[in-house]
Amino acid sequence: MSAGCVHGRQAPQRLELAQVLRAHGAAYCQSHPMAAVQQRAMAAIETCRTAALGGHARVCDACGAIAVSYNSCRNRHCPKCQTLAKERWVAARAAELMPVPYFHLVFTLPHALNPLAQANPRVIYAALFQAASQTLAEFGHNARWLGGELGATLVLHTWGQNLGQHLHVHALVAGAALAPDGSLRLAKPGFLFPVQALSRVFRAKYLDLLQHAFAQDKLRFGGTTQALREPRAFAAFVAQLRQPDWVVYAKRPFAGPGQVLAYLGRYTHRVAIGNHRLVSLSDTAVRFRWRDYAHGNATKVMTLAPEEFIRRFLLHVLPPGFMRIRHYGWLANRRKADRLPKLRQLLDQPQPPKPEPESVAAFLLRVCHIDIARCPHCGEQRLRLLETFYPRSRSPP
């Protein structure tokens, strides 16, 4: 098949992460050990929306123009494949919002744990979720604050703006708890829990989990962490982590459900770096924009060697099957079918209609105002499927 071009003005090409990986990924793979999940992520991003993954051609019967579309990789680390997943997820969460105050907290691990996390991401990240969720649940059940079961959504982020390791979870917490007697307890206006007390309890719970993982021989050591194999050295390491305050940050309460949804859209399906932040690529450098929070949130441009850029990006590839968005309390998957109707009854709220699944075409029309079924050249006729072509080889998931 000889595919014709769709005429018209073309949008300027924007630099993409895929281009960086295509240009320098092979050299990086040859000189650096990589986990299988990192290799799959790189291969998926490099081939996303290219002929390697197959696609289809559609023709306009009115003007004869042919439009070719290639398939997406759907890898969760790909910056081009998260928008539809995010919109669908946010739509599902919208039906679970309650007319109560919502609070945004951030639980952060000290950077001294970064080397240990590189060798043990699953253990370190799971302990972060467990310590943060248990801390919130403990404060929620405390009669001094709420005195019941709260609802919370936690989202893992492993990066900072400069692509370095910055391990933290964002917590979206509803200021309402179901008390043991079936009543509803609401948080005080503008206040959920005392941050310093949260920090101390979070630190204690996390270090207990870390020590338990060591005792159960679940941690691997190597490189700069090799010396921590010895029990005495590991105990000293934990004692050192116990000295400073750990960072738990509470942001201002959300103004309403609309602001909550905006937050969910920004944070839930974000990847380490989006294409919009990339500035330029050469044989010796990758330049990208970042925000320097330590200096007035100033926007700056960072320059890294391609090898270092790829190394930093791969730090944030998650272990296979690891869930980076988790729900707790009355939002937990096994509880919300029972708890949410009770909450709506207490709040005198009607049951929301079940959202209908949205197709890709409907999503693009609603969000991007693009009708992919209509000819982009003449705009008069709907496109007809002409040919489907398949991947040259089996692609990564």
Residue 371 sits in the same domain as residue 343: no
Domain span at 375: 17-77+364-389
**Band of pLDDT at residue 301, cut at 50, 70 and 90:** very high
How far apart (Å, rounded) are the C-alpha atoms in residues 7 and 303?
Answer: 37
Q: Which residues contact 208 (CB under 8 A, 6 or more apart)?
A: none
Phi and psi at 152, nearest 5°, equal -145, 145
Which of 73, 67, 92, 72 is closest to 5 using CA atoms?
Answer: 67
357 occurs within a structural domain: no
Report the Cα 155 to chain-centroid distance in Å. Answer: 7
Burial category of 314 from C-beta neighbours within 10 Å (exposed 0-12, middle 13-18, buried 19 and up): buried
pLDDT at 6 > cutoff 60? no
How far apart (Å, rounded) are the C-alpha atoms in residues 18 and 43?
Answer: 9
Residue 103 sits in the same domain as residue 234: yes
Residue 46 sits in the same domain as residue 188: no
Residue 71 sits in the same domain as residue 126: no
Q: What's this model's pTM, rounded to 2 decimal places?
A: 0.89
Q: What percent of the chain has pLDDT over 90?
A: 65
44 occurs within a structural domain: yes
Q: What is the pLDDT of residues 178-227, one digit of tens each?
A: 999 999 999 988 899 999 999 999 999 999 999 999 999 999 998 899 99
**Band of pLDDT at residue 318, cut at 50, 70 and 90:** very high
Residue 43 sits in the same domain as residue 121: no
Which of 263, 334, 249, 271 is closest to 97 using CA atoms?
Answer: 263
247 occurs within a structural domain: yes
277 occurs within a structural domain: no
CA-based torsion, 140, 141, 143, 146: positive or negative:
positive
Burial category of 172 from C-beta neighbours within 10 Å (exposed 0-12, middle 13-18, buried 19 and up): buried
299 occurs within a structural domain: no
For the chain, give the mean pLDDT.
Answer: 89
Residue 117 sits in the same domain as residue 151: yes
Residue 182 sits in the same domain as residue 112: yes
Residue 191 sits in the same domain as residue 327: yes
Residue 37 sits in the same domain as residue 147: no
The total domain count for the chain is 2
Residue 59 sits in the same domain as residue 130: no
The DSSP string of 156-172 is EEEE-TTS-EEEEEEEE
Residue 217 sits in the same domain as residue 146: yes
Residue 337 sits in the same domain as residue 369: no
